[in-house]
Amino acid sequence: MTRTETGSDARAARRKLPIGIQTFRTIREEGYYYVDKTAYVEQLADEGAHYFLSRPRRFGKSLLVDTIKELFEGSEPLFRGLAVHNRWDWSTPRPVLRFDFGGGSYGEPGLVRKEAAARLGALEREFAVTAHDDIAPARFRHLLQTLHERTGQRVVVLIDEYDKPILDALGTPEIARANRDFLQGLYSTIKSADAHVKFTLLTGVSKFSKVSLFSGLNNLKDITLDPRYSAICGYTEEDLDTVFAPELPGLNRSEIRRWYNGYGWLGDEKVYNPFDMLLLFDTRRFKAWWFETGTPTFLIDTLMEQGVGSLALEDMLGTDALLSTFDVGDIAPEALLFQTGYLTIHEEEDLGGRTRYRLGYPNREVRQSLNESLLHRLADNPSDTRRQGDRLYERLRDNDFDGLEALLRAFFAGIPYQWHTRNDIADYEGYYASVFYALFASAGLDMTVEDSTSRGRVDLTVRLDGSVYLFEFKVVGAAPPGSSPGSSASQGAAMAQLRERGYADKHRSAGRPIHLIAVEFSKETRNLTAFEAAPA
């Protein structure tokens, strides 16, 4: 459906989609959609503190920073009709120093110093301040003091993408550490010059540990997991129903939720990634828009090095400390996955005064795309991965179990021998389970891992076109002496378990067709040794 096929009333109410636009003034003056976040900004400003906010890339952080800049500078006409307008004192504009490290590339030695010097120079020219030192922290401190004395107003400091100079260099630890140490000195100026600073916000993707980057800036208030600000970036269901109502006709709302909703930071509701929604409204197509704008090579490398398989990502546990374990050379996979947006918080648990978070995929886009990337590494067959996923979907949809078995055998046979021995998924069962799960997840199937029943957990439940498929798989040892190739002493154990434990019983009340599928892998042949499918 094109953008002009929703009726004359909807057409008249439509605005321009702010794809890639992070400038508040442009959005307000040129008639783009805008989701009003100014009530959050007012709440932050009332407290007048120093803040830190972590959100994944392309989640609206830069637009938030620019909105705050215009608000403190007193650009009153831009805020007419917004929540903050009638509650803000427009008579006292404040000087704003904004640093944005999002546009540079910092993988080479010394680039972050040059970039910081350039940005300080631009601010000095903007405010007609003469620098008296070549050292970046000293220039920064001089700017703060001069602007405070000149205007009589304490300064607002906004630092967008504060961590990018470090993230860009993670593959070269010595450069990453040098960048981190330089930024630590620069950012520490905010605390040492606190008498001249009214308000501070640092935004980024990652939260580096307090003992490294933030050791000199320990007065920051981290609002990343503050429920009051969970929707400060991203779109809520209400935003879609109100702001973007003209864009919704012709799109399946349940599919929108399944594909793009699901990000949570302890608030009452989940949010959508803005980049995904704008591209969906523009193209009217469901695709992995956000995922495809980034290459998670470092993430995949880290998961492989630490032996984290795709199955583990369905249900990971993390604590406050673990989700903050992020530093050069010491990155907990839970922190990396959560902070970069590939996992989100599904549940918060209190264990004797200690908080524990249950993490999982936010939505179909991330689950399907990340598993496709993992499968490339696990199977070393990237050119055929997507085609295999499409074929798998078709075989299961058509209940073509012979074709499904042939596809799986061909897929595992295509994995080079060295990948069985060099992958860091430690045990055979973990390796096969990860490859098997990643293949199914990359096909975009609706799945539940370790689906609980009254008599145990079935390895994998798949729902497709009204049918339910229950998978149990096992890894068996070498065949007994004298047995035929591929046979095993435990062959048939997977199907026996499916039947004996009555895993299908919980699904019978729905009246859907139920299929039991037993898959057994052989350590000896490094492939399927048994495959059996039967109605429940």
Give the CATH number, domain containing residue 206. 3.40.50
- Per-residue model confidence (pLDDT) at position 381: 60
Residues 486-510: b if buried by 16+ CB within 10 A, e if exposed: eebeebebbbebbeebebbebbeee
Question: Number of structural domains, the chain?
Answer: 2
Which strands make up the sheet holding 155-160, listed edge to edge? Answer: 96-100, 155-160, 197-204, 50-54, 221-222
In a domain, 326, yes or no: no
Mean pLDDT of the chain: 89
Residue 396 inside a domain? The answer is: yes
132-136, 379-383, 405-409, 410-414: least confident range: 379-383
**Token duo for residue 190:** 């905010």
Q: What is the pLDDT of residue 135?
A: 95
Residue 250 in this model has a pLDDT that exceeds 90: yes
pLDDT in tens, 485-496: 444 445 688 899
| Nearest alpha carbon to residue 200 among 222, 167, 231, 227 | 222
Q: Which residues contact 176 (CB under 8 A, 6 or more apart)?
A: 166, 169, 170, 328
**Percentage, residues of the chain above pLDDT 70:** 90
pLDDT in tens, 222-233: 999 999 999 999
Domain boundary among 229, 264, 291: 229
Q: Which residue has the higher pLDDT, 301 or 423?
A: 301
Mean pLDDT score, 476-502? 67
CATH of the domain at 492: 3.40.1350
Quick check: is 100 in a domain? yes
Name the band, by pLDDT with cuts 50, 70 and 90, for residue 296: confident
Q: Which stretches within 34-135 are classed as H helix?
A: 38-47, 61-72, 111-126
Domain extent at residue 481: 379-535
Q: Is 51 or 218 the better-scoring residue by pLDDT?
A: 51
At which of 195, 229, 263 does a domain end? 229
DSSP strand pairing (316-319 vs 456-464) = unpaired
Given a contact cutoff of 8 angstroms between Cβ atoms, the answer to whether 250 and 6 are in contact is yes
Specify the pLDDT at position 479.
46
Name the burial class of residue 413, with classes exposed (0-12), middle (13-18) and buried (19+) by CB atoms within 10 angstroms of its CB: exposed
Encoded tokens for 160: 């967008």
Among the candidates 202, 229, 256, a domain finishes at 229
Does residue 266 belong to any structural domain of this protein?
no
CA distances from 33 to 17, 20, 71, 242, 464 (A): 6, 13, 18, 11, 36
Which one has a higher pLDDT value, 222 or 423? 222
Residue range 310-314: average pLDDT?
A: 86
- Give me the pLDDT at residue 307, please: 80
18 in any annotated domain: no
* Structure tokens that stand for 72 in this block: 């403190």
Kindly indicate the confidence band of residue 76, based on its pLDDT and cuts at 50, 70 and 90.
Answer: very high
Identify whether 280 is part of a domain. no
Residue 50 located in a structural domain: yes
Identity of the amino acid at 128: A
57 has pLDDT over 90: yes
Which 8-state DSSP code applies to residue 198? E
**Residue 9 above 50 pLDDT?**
no
Assess if residue 525 is contained within a domain.
yes
pLDDT digits (tens, 9 = 90+) for 364-404: 999 999 999 988 887 766 567 778 888 999 999 999 999 99
pLDDT tier at 508 (50, 70, 90 boundaries)?
Answer: very high
